[in-house]
């Protein structure tokens, strides 16, 4: 690849030459179609025509798709413009980001009415997520005025109408609302004075977008920054007056695949599909040259040359991702001592050994090593992004591990940072204080694994950790992280129920909910918030709604501490039993025996292949896990 193009989705493989034939063959045998096959097909740089062909194929196989790892989602798109092209493009692009979407979009001009009418088709659709895609023309912010009060009135009305749509969507049971900022058109009114003139169209839209971000914060909504996207491609390129006048299309038709991918990556982030770890190749990816052949003095990295600065830039980007919680790992075909040498001794390297959670350098094939990195970090291979300059290595990893995200890279390393950044693998819908600590937490976890192998006896190992477990109710400080865990945790998750930050806030205030956020520290460091527990309070039975835990702390007996806390609170409230369901999913087989291990008795099967369990509080005796418990005394009082 000679060049990088954001519009062309250059980080994705080119579509197969026989793509049309593949679409015709998709599901032609009337059999079931695997979600993984659809995701792999969608993981190409598809143009609009190919997206539409794919969407028609999806229509043909509706009802015959086995989702597998894809998360189903009912998505409503409420736009001020026509959605004939964007809706199918989003549906297909969502597959690329791990979401199997069922779509709803009202007719042009009906978005506001549908959102606010409790008897609308939208209400009957029962969307999980709604995208509110307003446009300055639909918002009434498309006319300049010399009167600042008139401009203020227009902005206030636009925000009030959008807030009203959120109210209507919440009444319709929509759990997550995505608010889209309004792109600012390129045409000036008063030239370079526009942003200082309150009545100019750019100033009105900018003020609207600022208040929209505040509205998103206040209503726990997700933000899609279409204004930033339009600026990235160029505002003059974004808007197409011909297409608007002819078909009320909100932006240039050629940009539909890019817009759809941005919507889809946000949907994926909502469903916890964002990647967690960046795995770096070394030679000609993190530095120029081959360390094994060229030696320390021969590798090219550092200021003073375009190539050296290019590799510094990709290292800087890796560190920037680490700063917000992305874990860094190395996978290189090299002798280990040689591979580590630049990290230790090259004066211009930005990355150092301490930045890398798992360092693998040997002559084993990279797919095997990448699988080992995921195991060492206790995360799935679908949480990894692999960055490698070598097309053959990229192709091999894709072949062996299709769940791993492997971006295509331009020939010139100067474009590596752009390719990685624009691919959107690490999209997020919120950042918490725990995110800043996560990379260090994973690195410390790898050190714990080494310590356990050294000690041998597992109980002695646990005792050596000097663990401190903090159990406390939900609060504002932990809310973002609680919602993240609820939406990201798949393996140690008894019910896989998903809740938004707004839902978490409601639970926090609900006297019929008993909630716990659990943190764990040990002598290797702070693991941060690692578990969330939610029980619904009844007179005799407390019903487990959610019980999840980070796989980073499996086997530490934290679940015993959590159960003791819940049981003590339930007894104090006069309850007789704790009830829990195991609801099987594609990824939570590991907790099938969770309740049995804690002393619950199986009561029978539940719909969907699950099981129900009960714990008699009268006979329950709490275990003594090898850790100091703090914060527990606060749980003796139930919310009122």
Assign 3-class secondary structure to 527-591.
Answer: EEEEEEEEEEECCCEEEEEEEEECHHHCCCCHHHHHHHHHHHHHHHCCCCEEEEEECCCCCCHHH
pLDDT tens-place string over residues 522-547: 887 788 899 999 999 999 999 999 99
Q: Give the CATH H-level superfamily of domain 277-423.
A: HAD superfamily/HAD-like (3.40.50.1000)
Confidence of residue 14 (pLDDT cuts 50, 70, 90): very high
Is the pLDDT at 633 greater than 60? The verdict is no
Alpha-helical regions (H) of 401-520: 416-423, 433-455, 458-464, 479-488, 501-509
b/e string for 175-185 if b means 16 or more Cβ within 10 A? bbbbbbbbbbb
Domain residues of the chain, as ranges?
Answer: 70-271, 277-423, 464-630
d(CA 235, CA 70): 34
Alpha-carbon dihedral 356, 361, 365, 368, rounded to 10 degrees: -40
Q: Identify which has the larger pLDDT, 246 or 447.
A: 246
Residue 126 has a CB neighbour count (10 Å cut-off) of 12
Confidence of residue 72 (pLDDT cuts 50, 70, 90): very high
The predicted model scores a pTM of: 0.77
pLDDT tens-place string over residues 315-330: 999 999 999 989 999 9
464-630: CATH topology: Aminopeptidase (3.40.630)
Give the pLDDT of residue 455. Answer: 65
Phi, psi of 181 (to 5 degrees): -70, 155
Q: Which CATH class is domain 70-271?
A: alpha beta
Identity of the highest mean pLDDT range in 250-254, 323-327, 452-456:
250-254
Q: What are the beta bridge partners of residue 582?
A: 611
Asked whether 436 and 445 are in contact (CB, 8 A), the reply is no
Give the pLDDT of residue 319. Answer: 96
Asked whether the domain spanning 464-630 has the same topology as the one spanning 277-423, the reply is no
Helix (H) or strand (E) run with residue 342 in it: helix 336-345
Average pLDDT of the segment spanning 88-102: 97
Asked whether 233 and 174 are in contact (CB, 8 A), the reply is no
Cα–Cα nearest to 151, from 205, 73, 228, 110? 205
Is the pLDDT at 637 greater than 90? The verdict is no
What is the sign, positive or negative, of the torsion defined by CA atoms of 11, 17, 20, 24?
A: negative
């Amino acid at each position: 690849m000679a060049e990088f193009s954001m519009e062309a989705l250059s980080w994705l493989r080119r579509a197969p030459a026989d793509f049309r034939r593949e679409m015709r063959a998709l599901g032609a045998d009337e059999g079931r179609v695997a979600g993984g096959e659809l995701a792999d097909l969608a993981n190409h740089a598809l143009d609009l025509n190919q997206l539409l062909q794919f969407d028609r194929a999806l229509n043909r196989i509706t009802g015959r798709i086995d989702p597998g790892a894809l998360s189903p989602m009912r998505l409503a798109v409420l736009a001020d413009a026509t959605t004939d092209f964007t809706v199918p493009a989003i549906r297909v692009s969502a597959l690329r980001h791990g979401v199997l979407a069922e779509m709803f979009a009202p007719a042009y001009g009906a978005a506001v009415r549908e959102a606010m009418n409790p008897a609308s088709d939208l209400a009957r659709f029962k969307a999980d997520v709604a995208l509110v895609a307003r446009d300055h023309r639909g918002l009434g912010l498309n006319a300049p005025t010399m009167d600042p009060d008139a401009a203020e009135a227009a902005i206030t009305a636009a925000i009030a109408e959008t807030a009203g749509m959120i109210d209507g969507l919440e009444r319709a049971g929509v759990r997550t609302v995505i608010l889209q900022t309004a792109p600012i058109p390129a045409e000036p009114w008063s030239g370079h004075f526009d942003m200082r003139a309150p009545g100019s169209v750019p100033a009105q839209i900018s003020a609207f977008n600022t208040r929209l971000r505040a509205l998103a914060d206040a209503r726990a909504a997700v933000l899609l920054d279409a204004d930033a996207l339009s600026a990235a491609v160029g505002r003059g390129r974004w808007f197409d007056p011909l297409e608007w006048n002819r078909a009320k299309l909100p932006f240039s038709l050629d940009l539909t695949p890019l817009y759809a991918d941005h919507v889809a990556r946000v949907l994926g982030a909502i469903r916890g599909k964002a990647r967690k770890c960046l795995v770096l190749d070394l030679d000609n990816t993190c530095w120029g040259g081959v360390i094994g052949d060229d030696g320390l003095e021969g590798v090219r990295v550092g200021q003073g040359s375009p190539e050296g600065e290019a590799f510094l830039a990709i290292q800087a980007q890796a560190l920037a991702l680490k700063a917000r919680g992305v874990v860094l790992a190395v996978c290189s075909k090299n002798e280990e001592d040689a591979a580590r040498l630049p990290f230790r001794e090259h004066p211009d390297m930005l990355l150092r050994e301490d930045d890398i959670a798992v360092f693998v350098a040997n002559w084993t094939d990279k797919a095997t090593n990448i699988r080992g990195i995921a195991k060492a970090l206790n995360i799935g291979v679908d949480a990894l992004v692999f960055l490698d300059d070598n097309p053959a290595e990229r192709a091999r990893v894709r072949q062996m591990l299709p769940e791993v995200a492997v971006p295509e890279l331009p020939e010139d390393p100067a474009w590596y940072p752009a390719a990685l950044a624009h691919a959107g693998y690490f999209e997020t819908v919120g950042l918490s204080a725990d995110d800043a600590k996560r990379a260090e937490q994973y690195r410390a976890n790898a050190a714990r694994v080494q310590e356990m192998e050294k000690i041998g006896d597992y109980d002695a190992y646990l005792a050596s950790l000097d663990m401190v477990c903090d159990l406390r109710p939900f609060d504002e400080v932990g809310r973002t992280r609680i919602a993240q865990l609820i939406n990201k945790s798949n393996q140690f998750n008894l019910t896989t129920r998903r809740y938004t930050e707004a839902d978490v806030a409601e639970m926090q205030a609900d006297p019929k909910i008993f909630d716990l956020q659990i943190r764990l520290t040990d002598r290797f460091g702070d693991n941060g918030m690692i578990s969330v527990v939610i029980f619904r309070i009844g007179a005799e039975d407390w019903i487990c709604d959610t019980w999840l835990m980070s796989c980073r702390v499996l086997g530490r007996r934290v679940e015993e501490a959590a159960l003791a806390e819940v049981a003590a609170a339930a007894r104090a409230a006069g309850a007789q039993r704790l009830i829990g369901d195991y609801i099987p999913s594609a990824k939570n087989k590991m907790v099938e025996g969770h309740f049995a291990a804690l002393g619950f008795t199986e009561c029978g099967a539940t719909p969907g292949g699950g099981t129900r369990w009960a714990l008699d509080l009268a006979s329950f005796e709490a275990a003594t896990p090898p850790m100091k418990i703090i914060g527990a005394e606060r749980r003796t009082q139930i919310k009122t």
